[in-house]
Structure 1
């Protein structure tokens, strides 16, 4: 088994067409292996399905004209597929594949694949041999319509062997561009996902990503958009990891920040699963009739199904009293709904007429939420 062959030349060598072709093919193979093994194949730029409203002049039916935007994709063999200008989808091509289907609301897949074509003859010098053989190959493309369900063929495609060059036609690699809807003999709309299969975009394979500016930003769109999320890893004098949303000027408003010392600051509330054996606490003051709160991160559903056990401690509060008054708690309980029942009796012998008064009271509460170490957590 040999590795890739790189052409070598020497002075006085007569260069044959095969020698020059080998030089080109070596570069193509190197580029394809880079694209295939350091990237995930898919759409690189553009190639979205766009619609424009139309009216059938014969029937008056409203429909849309669908076109593929200019753009670039990488297929799974490492070959670059370039669409240099918008391409309008032909309804006749769709009907040739799916015209016999019964009317349906299900969208049909649209694929892009590489194609080699012989370019139109251009004026140029004639070779010494007088041969009319073309000296250029147009690396073009073909747009294909699939049948319902054919979108699953995309993930079933197998890449070539490690050292292979990019695949040339008739080998075909399908790149899903999206889906079209078909109604009354015309296109009626487009989609980017159907039956659980979405349009695939190119990615990168890397164990290390290095930022030369000292800050590395991850975002969900090519450009910063107000209100969209971003993750910023910053170095410098105050290293930090920030998750936030873009503001109008392109700055990121922090929602969660991890400082270099490990301190975590969040703008909202914190919730999550309670690990086995853990305890969460809530405390405060409540008056008669109030519902006690659950500790942050504990839900009523977790309490109801027994995943979390609640323990409550109540301590009656002494109300402001005159120096001669006597105070006695009558009730300080909490029911199954965590509603406080608190009553107290007051008596001041110097007040005329002297009598015992019963009134609502207040308590200091402590709510403990626990997860048993044997039940697997919350």
Structure 2
């Protein structure tokens, strides 16, 4: 078994068409193998199903015109599929596959590679020999599938590792989305149906290293989308936040090199046995005391978390001849505050006594109870 054969030439050598073709094929096969094994196949850019509202001039029914936007994909053989300009989907092509009266379910739309004759005059191969084509257009075709054909995508198998570029190309389906159909027209699009969605191109790598010392991962180039920054600068840090239009990241969570964790929001998670979560504040009569972050009402109800509540009435200061005391300060079984402040007016004889709603300082502790099965 030999490895790939790279064409080599010498001075004065007469080059045949096969020699030049072998040069091109060596480069094509190398590029396809790289795309096949160092990357995950799928949509690279664009290729969205875009709708525009339309009205049927005969029936007056509303429908949509569906266009595949310009873009690029790489299929599982390593072949690039370039759609240089937007393409309007033809309703006649859909009817040819699914008939004129299909169901209301979404139908898949695929992109596949195809080689075409670019047209133009052919050139003679040599004096007295028939003219031959000297160019091949690496084109594409947009295909409609039947219901359930989207499952064919997962069953596609890449060619062997030593396979050369195929001519014509192997038919590999790249899912672009789904269209809906009613009364002879497209009525809508979607990117997911029957648990099969779009697949976008990716990278296969066990190690990713940043030349600048900072590695950024983001879900989108749009502002406000999640991003992660791993910085090797002094001091090192790991930051999760929202991507900003200027290229930076607004940090929401930061892990420092010493293990310190800083977050902008609250922290919630599964509590381990013996842990205690706390919340505190001020509440007035009739208010429901909050639970500590990370504790749910269901956990309290079924005994997984045990609450300890302490309330201290806020007694107003003495004003003139008025004295104040707590007539009631506590919480009921629903954690609702019961607080009444009693006021004694010593300017009258006998002293006038009045009650009004009051406020308390509260402390709520939630302890995780041990169970027979541990935590």
- Would you say 1:89 and 2:89 are equivalent positions? yes
| Paired position in structure 2 for 1:338 | 335
Matched length: 373
Kept after mapping to 2: 8 A contact 1:314/1:366: yes
**Distance of 1:87 and 1:220 partners within structure 2:** 27
The Cα of 1:144 is off from its aligned counterpart by 0.6
**Distance of 1:131 and 1:377 partners within structure 2:** 85
TM-score using structure 2 length = 0.82
Given candidates 259, 276, 280, the residue that maps to 2:277 is 280
- Would you say 1:3 and 2:14 are equivalent positions? no
| Paired position in structure 1 for 2:254 | 257
1:188-209 Cα deviation digits (max 9, x unpaired) = 2222222222222111112233
Deviates more, 1:105-114 or 1:259-268: 259-268
The Cα of 1:110 is off from its aligned counterpart by 0.7
| Paired position in structure 2 for 1:46 | 46
| Paired position in structure 1 for 2:145 | 146
- Would you say 1:159 and 2:171 are equivalent positions? no
Deviates more, 1:131-140 or 1:308-317: 308-317
**Distance of 2:374 and 2:24 partners within structure 1:** 61
Question: 1:319–1:122: structure 2 CA closer, same or farther, 3 Å change rule?
Answer: same
Runs of 5+ unmatched residues, structure 1: none
SS in 1 for 2:233: coil
Given candidates 295, 299, 324, the residue that maps to 1:298 is 295
Kept after mapping to 2: 8 A contact 1:36/1:76: yes
**Distance of 1:352 and 1:85 partners within structure 2:** 95
Kept after mapping to 2: 8 A contact 1:77/1:167: no
1:82-138 Cα deviation digits (max 9, x unpaired) = 2222222222111110015x4432221110101112331436455235132323222
| Paired position in structure 1 for 2:132 | 133
SS in 1 for 2:142: strand
Kept after mapping to 2: 8 A contact 1:277/1:377: no
1:232-267 Cα deviation digits (max 9, x unpaired) = 333433433333334565543332222333322222
1:217-243 Cα deviation digits (max 9, x unpaired) = 322323x42x33333333433433333
**Distance of 1:290 and 1:58 partners within structure 2:** 63
Given candidates 220, 223, 233, the residue that maps to 2:230 is 233
| Paired position in structure 2 for 1:22 | 22
**Distance of 1:357 and 1:57 partners within structure 2:** 79
**Distance of 1:301 and 1:57 partners within structure 2:** 58
Kept after mapping to 2: 8 A contact 1:180/1:190: yes
Kept after mapping to 2: 8 A contact 1:44/1:73: yes
SS in 2 for 1:271: coil
Question: 1:56–1:295: structure 2 CA closer, same or farther, 3 Å change rule?
Answer: closer
Runs of 5+ unmatched residues, structure 2: none
| Paired position in structure 2 for 1:36 | 36
Question: 1:291–1:187: structure 2 CA closer, same or farther, 3 Å change rule?
Answer: closer
1:255-286 Cα deviation digits (max 9, x unpaired) = 22223333222222221221344222335677
SS in 2 for 1:155: coil
| Paired position in structure 1 for 2:116 | 117
| Paired position in structure 2 for 1:271 | 268
- Would you say 1:195 and 2:194 are equivalent positions? yes
The Cα of 1:147 is off from its aligned counterpart by 0.6
Kept after mapping to 2: 8 A contact 1:276/1:375: no
